Amino acid sequence: MKTPYKNIYSVLKLNRFIVLAIVVCALLSSTFSVWMVFNTNQKALNSAFAINTDGSIIPLKLVTQKENFRVEALAHLDLFHNYFYNIDASNYERNLEKALWLGNSSVDNLYLQKKADGVYNRLLQYSLVQKVLSIDSRLSENNGSYSFITTTIFEINRGSIIDTYELISTGNLITVDRNFPNNPHGLLITNYFENTLKKLNDESRKE
């Protein structure tokens, strides 16, 4: 018995369909690859970069994040120093409570030390008014860690006498969860230390 053979036209038709399918898939794959390359290139051209001091390229998004951090850090330091040093007999408890939310145990320890030294008792006893005049903070970054130096100018009003002082303090900043309204910037002051405190005379104030 002879083996039946398939119709030659059916075989050629099937082969042609397979070849066409392969060609179409190849064209689609090539078109998709070209589109991906073009799209990636356009995104790269439309992206902005900044040059670091060592010549390396930094995406603008990272630069923006650092700028945003700087703004929040300066605002955090300004808020803390205002709460901690802008005090009088009527608001010192409320202000100090707010200040303690913005720092860690180093701030707590300084507060307890001042309390033990009678700073706040004298504030009540003599009705002193301690008013912050200016706050100037400088931030430094080292391997992702941030430190600061803050110069706070404040005056103490003793009624007939007003004395002005310059306080230089230092510390570090770490990121924590935001806690509105207690800690709106999500930062915490650590290793806080009052380095120098000096009385300013009238001549230095004019300068």
* Residue-wise DSSP of 157-182: E-SS-EEEEEEEEEEEEEE---BTTT
pLDDT over threshold 90, residue 196: yes
Q: How many other CB atoms are there within 10 angstroms of residue 187's CB atom?
A: 23
The DSSP symbol for 104 reads: -
Q: What is the pLDDT of residue 129?
A: 96
Task: With H, G, I as helix, E, B as strand and everything else as coil, classify residue 109.
Answer: helix
E strand residue ranges, the chain: 49-51, 57-59, 87-88, 129-142, 145-157, 162-175, 187-200
Residue-wise pLDDT tens digits, 93-114: 999 999 999 999 999 999 999 9
Q: Is residue 34 very low, low, confident or very high in pLDDT (cuts 50, 70, 90)?
A: confident
Closest CA to 195 of 168, 166, 164, 172: 168
Amino acid at residue number 44: A
pLDDT over threshold 90, residue 27: no
Closest CA to 88 of 118, 116, 130, 119: 130
Q: Is residue 180 very low, low, confident or very high in pLDDT (cuts 50, 70, 90)?
A: confident
Give the mean model confidence (pLDDT) for residues 170-194.
95
Residue-wise pLDDT tens digits, 116-127: 999 999 999 999
What separation, in Å, do the N-terminal and C-terminal C-alpha atoms of the chain show?
A: 119
Q: Is residue 33 very low, low, confident or very high in pLDDT (cuts 50, 70, 90)?
A: confident
- What pTM, to 2 d.p., does this model score? 0.69
